[in-house]
Amino acid sequence: MSVVRVVRTGTANLASVVAGLKRVDAEPVLCADPDLLAKADRVVLPGVGALAAAMETLRGGLGDALSARVRAGRPTLAVCLGLQLLLEGSDESPGVPGLGVVAGHAHKFTGVGLRVPHLGWNRVEPDADCRLLRPGHAYFAHSFYLAEAPTGWAAARTTHGRAYVSAFERGPVLACQFHPELSGAWGLDLLRRWLEA
């Protein structure tokens, strides 16, 4: 059974992430210790809530440990707000920097008649060079999005008013705007592929 350290951001719905990991026979362990995150075989950065509040928790040791993992290409999964925390910043919290380990900025969905937040099921279409991501439908709950794929990362896209990046991957590092743990059999298969990566 794979032990997976799940970061305590203070804003995440940890119950769904923990339950999803258990469904794929992983052993989730909640963690707020930077040293344990640095040494862990696998880490999940979950997220629900505001970027500024999550960054208050991550500033310093936790954020440094996460950034080092991503830069080193060590198995790390970022979910929903977790994806946006990896970026340089977000319209949600002007002036509050993200971890900045992945180039990009999250923008707010806008448009006449466009439902915000983007809530519910939608199609995920990965690029041909994606190894972990497969075409399918995932569950989303977000108001901010990444417009362009970061350089050096394979990406998947989804359309809600416009096409945007719904996930990106490089080696065993995977960031999903959607919630794989809430995305039925398709999402659980994605978690299994990440665990095996």
Q: Where are the beta strands (DSSP E) in 14-162?
A: 26-31, 43-45, 76-79, 89-90, 105-108, 118-126, 136-142, 144-146, 154-159
pLDDT at site 126? 98
Q: What average pLDDT score do residues 47-75 get? A: 91
Catalytic choice (107, 148, 179, 196): 179
Of 107, 148, 181, 196, catalytic: 181
**pLDDT > 90: what percent of the chain?**
88
Beta strand 136-142 pairing with 118-126: antiparallel
Mean of pLDDT over the chain: 95
- Report the C-alpha gap between 13 and 25 in whole angstroms: 20
For 119-174, how does the pLDDT look when each residue is reduced to its tens digit (9 = 90+)?
999 999 999 999 999 999 999 999 999 999 999 999 999 999 999 999 999 999 99
Average pLDDT over residues 62-77: 97
Q: What are phi and psi of 88, to 5 degrees?
A: -75, -25
Catalytic residue among 31, 80, 130, 176: 80
Is residue 125 annotated as a catalytic residue, yes or no? no
Predicted confidence (pLDDT) at residue 11 exceeds the cutoff of 70: no
The pLDDT value recorded for residue 145 is 98
Q: Where are the alpha helices (DSSP H) in the chain?
A: 14-23, 34-39, 51-58, 61-72, 81-86, 184-196
| Rounded CA separation 38/176 (Å) | 21
Q: Which of 2, 48, 8 is nearest to 24 (CA)?
A: 2
Alpha helices in 73-148 (DSSP H): 81-86
- Residues 63-86 have a mean pLDDT of 97
Whether 176 is catalytic? no
Residue 181 a catalytic site member? yes
Segment 94-117 shows an average pLDDT of 95
For the entire predicted model, the pTM comes to: 0.96
Q: What confidence category does residue 188 fall into, taking pLDDT thresholds of 50, 70 and 90?
A: very high
Average pLDDT of span 176-183: 97
Domains of the chain: 2-196 (3.40.50.880)
